[in-house]
């Protein structure tokens, strides 16, 4: 069996000996499964294996990159020689260089599930069917599902460079989700999403995923608009993840260096309620985006970006850090052997509070519990504008009063941060918009656009 880390080091050595360039070699191998079921039958089953090598060379700030999935000696040599040729004609950038090697902490991040490697495909199909069955059995008004999906990925990464770094790790991720559709006697239809994600197959609760989708869909049947007003909203974690994920884009050094963030030039200032602490943590145990080192070999770390409302930091890769004269936060991400490192969050989340969603609802005299949104006006990390079509439940005197549909919610990202008045204890990682973690949130002073008051 090939030792891929030793192979990466050997290629680095050969390429570095033939030039004065800095050399980096990445090798990735992965196995991915996707299963989709519909009405108890397998609608889609795909399994794919991939393996490849990417070679990055940097000479006097000029970068060349080439990759291959052919591991023959001839192909590998052609790949690193091509990278050198491309670097020779590239535009130089004084900030482009490989990072200096640093010690990698050896704590167990618990991101590898050996049992997932051994789970039979039939067992994965059975889990997907159980998710769908749980949604349909939740209530007779749940009439169908859509996109009932199980996905997993089993991957290894091997990285070496001419500055002396060499490291490897494996990671497993599995996700189950679906949309449930409910219909009432008047023919109105609603949908709700159920979601589960973990590094560990045994942690996916099929019944909980299906029941969540069914419960959300049924609860919103018969929804009507409310009068246009400015008021309190409570955001379900899947809804909140769409907004918080946009905040991640505004808190990258690249966005600041390109003048593309609504938070520009507010470092050290109070930009949010003291309830808000935003973290990027590449070392979160059992984090979907956790890894011992990033895509350049820099140790990952926990970075406190907004601390009790005060903007304290940004996320950096080695390029943006060198440009700013600071240290990288270990946020260079690789999408595989075909891609250069890109500055992106790892596990980006809002620190949870100590309030349950039920307690939050009881604290609201009048407000809107948002369970579903659609990007209409969208969310813009540059201007901070935020507008979405929304549906959910109306709250009166701390109790659910009935379903709501046909409204919009609008604010700015700056006002969103400033008007967080409660943060739930139910932190949940949502993998659809990056690896974004959000508890249930209470936001005051949000414009709820509905019908004109009579």
Express each pLDDT in 103-140 by its tens digit.
999 999 999 999 999 999 999 999 999 999 999 999 99
List the domain range (segments joined by +) for residue 389: 224-244+352-449
Distance CA 169, CA 293 (A): 9
Residues in CB range of 220: below 8 A, 6 or more apart: 182, 190, 192, 371, 372, 391, 392, 393, 403, 404, 405
pLDDT digits 0-9 by tens, 147-189: 999 999 999 999 999 999 999 999 999 999 999 999 999 889 9
pLDDT digits 0-9 by tens, 402-449: 999 999 999 999 999 999 999 999 999 999 888 999 999 999 999 999
Residues 63 and 138 in one domain: yes
Residues 207 and 65 in one domain: yes
Percent of the chain with pLDDT over 70: 99
Residues in CB range of 287: below 8 A, 6 or more apart: 109, 111, 199, 281, 346, 347, 429, 435
Residues 169 and 229 in one domain: no
Residues 90 and 228 in one domain: no
Residues 228 and 96 in one domain: no
- The two three-digit tokens of residue 75, written as one number: 């192909």
245-261 in b/e form (b: 16+ CB < 10 A) is: bbbbbbbbbbbbbeebb
Mean pLDDT (the chain) is: 96
Q: Total structural domains in the chain?
A: 2
Q: What is the pLDDT of residue 337?
A: 96
pLDDT digits 0-9 by tens, 206-216: 999 999 999 99
Pair 429, 438: CB distance under 8 Å: no
Q: What is the pLDDT of residue 454?
A: 40
- The two three-digit tokens of residue 303, written as one number: 């970075």
> Which value, to the nearest 10 degrees, does the dihedral of the CA atoms of residues 159, 95, 347, 27 take?
-20
In a domain, 370, yes or no: yes
| Whether pLDDT at 335 is above 70 | yes
pLDDT digits 0-9 by tens, 74-97: 999 999 999 999 999 999 999 999
The total number of residues written for the chain in this structure: 454
In a domain, 261, yes or no: no
pLDDT digits 0-9 by tens, 221-248: 999 999 999 999 999 999 999 999 999 9
Residues 212 and 228 in one domain: no
Q: What is the pLDDT of residue 2?
A: 83
In a domain, 126, yes or no: yes
Residues 232 and 211 in one domain: no
Residues 153 and 239 in one domain: no
pLDDT digits 0-9 by tens, 338-381: 999 999 999 999 999 999 999 999 999 999 999 999 876 688 99
Q: Can you give the CATH number for the domain in which 146 is found? A: 3.30.2290.10
In a domain, 320, yes or no: no
Distance CA 320, CA 251 (A): 12
What DSSP element (H or E) covers 361? helix 357-362
Q: What is the pLDDT of residue 262?
A: 96
Residues 95 and 229 in one domain: no
Residues 234 and 185 in one domain: no
Pair 185, 218: CB distance under 8 Å: no
Domain boundary among 196, 216, 236: 216
- The two three-digit tokens of residue 244, written as one number: 């918080």
pTM, entire model: 0.95
| Whether pLDDT at 452 is above 80 | no
Distance CA 390, CA 123 (A): 36
Q: What is the pLDDT of residue 453?
A: 52
Residues 229 and 182 in one domain: no
Residues 11 and 137 in one domain: yes
Q: Which of 361, 363, 341, 329 is nearest to 440 (CA)?
A: 361
Q: What's the distance, Cα to Cα, between the start and end of the chain in Å?
A: 75
In a domain, 8, yes or no: yes
């Amino acid at each position: 069996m090939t030792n891929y880390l030793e192979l990466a080091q050997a290629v680095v050595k050969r390429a570095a000996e033939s030039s004065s360039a800095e050399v980096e070699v990445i090798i990735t191998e992965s196995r991915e499964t996707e299963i989709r079921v519909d009405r108890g039958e397998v609608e889609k089953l795909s399994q794919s294996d991939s393996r490849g090598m990417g070679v990055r060379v940097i000479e006097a700030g000029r970068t060349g990159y080439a990759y291959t999935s052919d591991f023959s000696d001839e192909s590998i040599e052609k790949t690193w020689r091509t990278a050198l040729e491309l670097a020779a004609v590239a535009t130089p950038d004084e900030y482009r260089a490989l990072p200096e090697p640093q010690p990698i902490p050896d704590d167990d991040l618990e991101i590898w599930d050996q049992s997932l490697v051994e789970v039979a495909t039939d067992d994965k199909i059975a889990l997907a069917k159980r998710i769908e069955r749980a949604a349909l059995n939740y209530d007779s008004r749940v009439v169908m599902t859509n996109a009932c999906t199980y996905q997993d990925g089993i991957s290894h990464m091997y990285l070496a460079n001419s500055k002396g770094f060499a490291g490897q790790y494996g990671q497993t991720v599995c996700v189950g989700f679906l949309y449930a559709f409910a219909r009432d006697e008047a023919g109105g239809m609603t949908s709700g999403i159920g979601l589960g994600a973990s590094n560990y197959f045994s942690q996916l609760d099929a019944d909980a995923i299906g029941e969540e989708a069914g419960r959300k869909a049924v609860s919103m049947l018969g929804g009507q608009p409310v009068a246009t007003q400015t008021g309190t909203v409570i955001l379900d974690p899947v809804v909140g993840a769409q907004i918080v994920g946009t905040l991640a884009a505004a808190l990258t050094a690249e966005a600041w260096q390109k003048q593309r963030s609504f938070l520009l030039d507010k470092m050290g200032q109070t930009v949010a309620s003291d309830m808000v602490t935003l973290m990027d943590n590449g070392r979160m145990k059992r984090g979907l985006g956790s890894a011992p080192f990033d895509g350049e070999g820099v140790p990952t770390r926990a970075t406190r970006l907004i601390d009790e409302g005060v903007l304290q930091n940004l996320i950096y890769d080695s390029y943006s850090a060198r440009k700013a004269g600071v240290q990288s936060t270990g946020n260079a991400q690789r999408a595989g052997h075909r891609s250069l490192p890109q500055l992106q969050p790892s596990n980006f989340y809002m620190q949870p509070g100590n309030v349950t969603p039920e307690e939050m609802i009881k604290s609201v005299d009048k407000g809107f519990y948002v369970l579903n949104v659609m990007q209409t006006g969208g969310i813009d990390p540059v201007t901070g504008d935020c507008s979405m079509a929304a549906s959910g439940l109306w709250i009166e005197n701390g109790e659910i009063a009935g379903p709501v549909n046909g409204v919009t919610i609008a604010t700015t990202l700056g006002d969103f941060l400033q008007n967080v008045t409660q943060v739930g204890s139910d932190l949940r990682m949502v993998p659809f918009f990056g690896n974004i973690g959000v508890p249930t949130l209470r936001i005051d002073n949000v414009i709820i656009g509905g019908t004109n008051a009579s």
